[in-house]
Structure formats: C-alpha cells, structure tokens
Amino acid sequence: MDITPSVVEEMAADYRETEPLAAVEGDHVEMLPDTFASGEFGWRDAIWVVRWYYRRFLGAVPNARRRAGEAAFEDNDFEEVRSAIQDVAASRDVEFQLERLTALEGVDVPVASAFLQFVDPESALVLGEREWTVLREAGALSGPYPEAPSPADYRAYLEAARAVANRCDCDAWTLYQAIWRLYKETHEERPAP
C-alpha cells in the first residue's frame, strides 16, 4: 500500500463524509488546542478525549475494557489533570509530554497520544493498532504493533507518521483521517453486493 498525497486527500474526504464521529471530532480539533493551552477547560473536555480514544471504534473495544479505562481516568483530581494538560500544551518535548500524561491514572501511551493529537492536531497523531498497521503496510514502520506501546514506540511511530504527512503535504489530523479510512478499506470485510 502506498500512501500518496492523492490517496490522503481522497481518504480524508471520505472520512469526513462517512464517519459517524467526524463532525464532533472536527469541532474538538478546532476547539481543544486553544482551550487546553489556556487552561480554560472543564472536566468534560478532558474526559471527552479519553472517551473518544475508546469509543472511536464504535463498540469494537470490549465494554469492560472501555469502562475500566474511563473509570480509572475519572479517579484523577481535576486540578492535576488541568495542570498536566497545560504543561503538555506548553511543551514540544514528546518525552516530557508522555511522562506528564502517563503519570495520570488511566493514561497509558496510546491514551496519552490521543491527548497529544487534540493538543496539537497539526503534528501529533494518536497511536493505535489500526494506525500502526497502515503505516507498517506502507513501509513507514517495521514490526507489529507492540503489546504495550512504550514512549520509544510512540516516538518511532510519530517520526514515521510525520515523514508521511510531510511527503503528502498534510497535517497529522488529515493523515489520521486518511489512515482510518485506509484501514477500513483494506482490513474490514465488505458486505457482498
């Protein structure tokens, strides 16, 4: 599979037209970067990112796992969450950002990457098995998706994703949309005509 500028453009447009969460995601991509940077956000904004991470799969993540992840995050003190997100928004050091976010309850590297994507949708990309698989199949990554992704795994993934985005002259959010649709096109069964 080759990820070209025209493929990214076509798949991202398809994403915006067909994916059920596209409109609400678009609203959050526009709102959350400034909101997170300023600290002028509420608990619902922060928990939305965690819920989005699990719920974007529209039921494919087992309910028990999703609920456990969301409940663990809800155990955090909101002021600590606010402080962590503001610190992350003020930094461009991925190592620091991941360290700060994963210190929160219920936030592993993949969930932290969701926060990074909504803090900086221009250059950060959420990490998941689908995204990793598409980039691996395009030759941008080697090896299967890690069982428990580490900060080093995320840095390698982000570097590969940014290289693809640069080559395709798009931002990370557009690349995410294209990757999501590419995965569906190549990995999900289609109903018989």
Token pair in block for residue 60:
């494919």
How many domains, in total, are found in the chain? 1
Any domain includes 77: yes
What are the helix (H) ranges across 40-91?
43-55, 63-74, 78-89
Between helix 151-167 and helix 94-102 the angle, nearest 10°, is 130
What per-residue confidence (pLDDT) applies to 60?
64
Any domain includes 192: no
Any domain includes 161: yes
What are the helix (H) ranges across 107-171?
109-119, 129-137, 151-167
Cα atoms in the 13 Å half-sphere on the side-chain side of 147: 0
Q: How do residues 113-154 score in pLDDT, each as one tens digit?
A: 999 999 999 999 999 999 999 999 999 999 999 999 999 999
User: Residue 96 gets which letter from DSSP?
Assistant: H
* CB count in 10 Å sphere of residue 76: 20
Any domain includes 52: yes
> CA 73, CA 111: separation in Å to the nearest integer?
10
| Cα four-point dihedral sign 72, 50, 187, 167 | negative
Any domain includes 142: yes
Q: Are 120 and 36 in contact (CB under 8 A)?
A: no
Any domain includes 113: yes
Residues of the chain with pLDDT under 70: 58-63, 66, 189-193
Cα atoms in the 13 Å half-sphere on the side-chain side of 111: 26
pTM assigned to the model = 0.92
Q: Are 85 and 107 in contact (CB under 8 A)?
A: no
Q: Are 127 and 161 in contact (CB under 8 A)?
A: no
What per-residue confidence (pLDDT) applies to 192?
43
Any domain includes 193: no
| Cα four-point dihedral sign 130, 118, 71, 44 | negative
Any domain includes 17: yes
> CA 94, CA 119: separation in Å to the nearest integer?
12
What per-residue confidence (pLDDT) applies to 193?
42
What per-residue confidence (pLDDT) applies to 83?
97
Determine the structural domain holding residue 32 and report its residue range.
5-186
